[in-house]
């Protein structure tokens, strides 16, 4: 084939902006839609969302929050091996219920403690010493008659171990207290309040009832993979272009040496998926999409592009043809719940989010104020800053690329991640309803795509909102 023929025969690479889902007959109300799925072969989720392994997105707080919401967080690898292992271990020790750090100090005055309870609308709180020990529990009734410190009016502590945290919710529902401590061997972990018992979450847990968690690795860092294997449910290779012979061979050694599910990526073509299945031998999931992220510049730097929607469909076809039980994670370019629905309809089991979660409270980046607006830093893992950090902390990382393929910037502050995810999940449920599906598997069977001009918002709406 000549070069001109190659251009003429260029394949259409569909993006999220190129297609829409054609509405179908809805079998159930959107509130009844089931969005549970699998992240990898053995890791089950209640929502089809994971947080990206980026150093401005996922560390301990995000990983815990995502699991509590029914998803999973992938802890980034831009840190020393020991630190990443420690974070994964802490997630496994975290209680599978929402907790806060609300507590009273035994040395503060009863009067001040009473004011704190009134401001929070609570009748009681655990009492925790400055060295993190749970030392008691204080009730407003006892504090009213106290003229000294909280320690003189507190009663013995009542607490639950993290794995019995669900029992704490039952205990609070009895009405005996407004709060109860979660502790391990006298060490304070957090506080569960009555509000949590009223708004119970359905966390994603492992067979032992612990929160699920994943971690990113380089396939060339076998020691890191082995160290993490004890604590994580899935290992996720963090390679921009996994369809590389050396990367696939290295991943095969990881698969042989670890027991956690192995998610490989990023891949973007049928051929990449087929080769990965052949070379790695044990593939428990695919991370799919190349150069589709909002801060990825690979398409500009290297001229290569496998947009997430197109790549998901291509990889899914390959997996189905080869009989591989390997769920697909759509990674990159997701900007809305509508994009999530499109990714799922194209064959994905879940999506991996960076940009949409980067501005939340749980993202590890610091809050930055510009005038009256608040932002959080966000950067691609192939950005210069991220690469410099990675090479500094990980001697196993191969510094093969000398040019950055990502940028750094700021994203608007979005508040708690629970609010962001809740809105996305409701949108996904609505989208499945429009497509005529009651769950993700049905969506795969009934979804129909249509090509149409981009839907434009009338300018009058923008003018109406000005001022």
Per the annotation, the verdict on 146 as an active-site residue is no
Res 466 pLDDT > 80:
no
Catalytic one of 8, 395, 402, 463:
395
pLDDT in tens, 352-371: 999 999 999 999 988 888 88
Radius of gyration, CA atoms only, the chain: 24
Are the C-beta atoms of 197 and 37 separated by less than 8 Å? no
pLDDT on residue 139: 94
Are the C-beta atoms of 52 and 77 separated by less than 8 Å? no
Neighbours of 308 (CB within 10 A): 31
Which residues neighbour 446 within 8 Å (Cβ) at sequence distance 6 or greater? 24, 435, 436, 437
pLDDT on residue 391: 44
Instruction: Say which residue, 266 or 169, is predicted with more confidence.
Output: 266
Counting residues of the chain whose pLDDT is more than 90, the rounded percentage is 67
**CATH class of residue range 3-96+204-451:** alpha beta
Interstrand relation of 124-128 and 187-193 (parallel, antiparallel or unpaired): unpaired
Counting residues of the chain whose pLDDT is more than 70, the rounded percentage is 87
Per domain, the residue ranges of the chain are 3-96+204-451, 110-198
pLDDT on residue 294: 61
DSSP for 267-315, written as a single string:
E-SHHHHHHHHHHHS---EEEE-BS-STTB-HHHHH---B-HHHHHHHH
Determine the Cα angle at 326 with ends 92 and 223, to 5°: 50
**What element of type H or E holds 172?**
helix 165-173
What backbone phi and psi angles, to 5 degrees, belong to 313? -60, -40
Q: How far is CA 248 from CA 173, 261, 325, 334, 399, in A?
A: 52, 16, 18, 27, 17
pLDDT in tens, 63-95: 999 999 999 999 999 999 999 999 999 999 999
Residue in this structure with the two tokens 């902006």, named with its chain if needed: 17
pLDDT on residue 164: 83
What backbone phi and psi angles, to 5 degrees, belong to 415? 80, -155
Structure tokens at 298: 């690979």
**What element of type H or E holds 237?**
strand 234-237
In total, the chain counts a number of residues equal to 467
Report the alpha-carbon distance of residue 98 to residue 358 in Å, rounded: 20
Structure tokens at 465: 């909102």
β-strand partners of 204: none
Q: How far is CA 143 from CA 57, 101, 127, 147, in A?
A: 42, 20, 12, 8
Q: Three-state SS for 79?
A: coil
Res 398 pLDDT > 60:
no
Name the DSSP letter for residue 30. G
Structure tokens at 66: 């995502």
Instruction: For residue 329, name the pLDDT band (cuts at 50, 70, 90).
Output: very high
Which residues neighbour 229 within 8 Å (Cβ) at sequence distance 6 or greater? 235, 257, 258, 259, 260
Question: What torsion, rounded to 10 degrees, do the Cα atoms 191, 197, 198, 203 define?
Answer: 100
Helices (H), 281-414: 298-302, 308-321, 337-345, 355-358, 384-393
Report the alpha-carbon distance of residue 350 to residue 65 in Å, rounded: 17
Catalytic one of 296, 316, 379, 414:
296
For the entire predicted model, the pTM comes to 0.85
pLDDT, mean over the chain: 88
Report the alpha-carbon distance of residue 238 to residue 311 in Å, rounded: 17
Give the least confident one: 142-156, 268-282, 290-304, 345-359.
Answer: 290-304
At the fourth CATH level, which superfamily is domain 110-198?
CBS-domain (3.10.580.10)
Crossing angle for the helix pair 60-68 and 81-93, to the nearest 10 degrees: 30
Are the C-beta atoms of 223 and 235 separated by less than 8 Å? no
- Distance, CA of 269 to chain centre: 24
User: Among the ranges 94-98, 133-137, 145-149, 183-187, which has the highest mean pLDDT value?
Assistant: 133-137
Q: How far is CA 296 from CA 300, 406, 434, in A?
A: 9, 4, 31
């Amino acid at each position: 084939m000549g070069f001109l023929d190659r251009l003429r025969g260029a394949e259409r690479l569909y993006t999220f902006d190129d297609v829409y889902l054609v509405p179908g007959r809805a079998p159930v109300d959107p509130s009844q839609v089931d969005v549970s799925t699998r992240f990898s072969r053995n890791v089950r989720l209640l929502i089809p969302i994971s947080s990206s392994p980026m150093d401005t997105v996922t560390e301990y707080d995000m990983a815990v929050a995502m699991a509590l919401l029914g998803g999973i967080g992938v802890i980034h690898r831009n840190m020393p091996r020991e630190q990443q292992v420690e974070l994964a271990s802490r997630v496994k020790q975290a209680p599978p219920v929402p907790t806060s750090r609300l507590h009273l100090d035994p040395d503060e005055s009863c009067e001040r403690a009473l004011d704190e309870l009134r401001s929070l609308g609570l009748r009681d709180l655990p009492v925790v010493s400055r060295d993190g020990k749970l030392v008691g529990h204080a009730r407003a009734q006892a504090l009213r008659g106290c003229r000294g410190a909280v320690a003189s009016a507190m009663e013995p502590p009542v607490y639950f171990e993290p794995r019995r945290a669900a029992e704490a919710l039952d205990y609070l529902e009895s009405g005996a207290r407004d709060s109860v401590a979660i502790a391990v061997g006298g060490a304070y972990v957090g506080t569960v309040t009555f509000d949590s018992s009223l708004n119970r979450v359905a966390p994603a847990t492992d067979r032992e009832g612990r929160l699920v968690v994943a971690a990113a690795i380089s396939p060339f860092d076998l020691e890191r993979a082995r160290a993490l294997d004890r604590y994580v449910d899935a290992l996720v290779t963090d390679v921009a272009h996994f369809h590389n012979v050396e990367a696939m061979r290295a991943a095969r050694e990881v698969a042989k040496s670890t027991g956690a599910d192995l998610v490989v990526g990023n891949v973007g073509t049928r051929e990449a998926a087929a080769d990965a299945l052949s070379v790695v031998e044990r593939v428990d999931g695919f991370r799919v999409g190349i150069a589709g992220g909002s801060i990825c510049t690979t398409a500009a730097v290297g001229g290569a592009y496998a947009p997430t929607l197109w790549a998901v469909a291509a990889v899914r076809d390959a997996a189905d043809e080869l009989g591989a039980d390997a769920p697909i994670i759509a990674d990159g370019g997701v900007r809305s719940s509508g994009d999530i629905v499109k990714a799922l309809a194209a064959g994905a089991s879940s999506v991996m989010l960076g940009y949409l979660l980067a501005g939340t409270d749980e993202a590890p980046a610091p809050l930055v104020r510009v005038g009256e607006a608040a932002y959080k830093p966000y950067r691609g893992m192939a950005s210069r800053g991220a690469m410099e950090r990675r090479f500094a902390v990980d001697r196993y990382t191969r510094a093969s690329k000398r040019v950055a393929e990502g940028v750094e910037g700021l994203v608007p502050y979005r508040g708690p991640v629970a609010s962001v995810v809740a809105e996305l999940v409701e949108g996904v449920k609505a989208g499945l309803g429009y497509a005529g599906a009651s769950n993700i598997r049905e969506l795969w069977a009934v979804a129909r795509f249509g090509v149409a001009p981009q839907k434009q918002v009338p300018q009058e709406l923008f003018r109406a909102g000005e001022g």
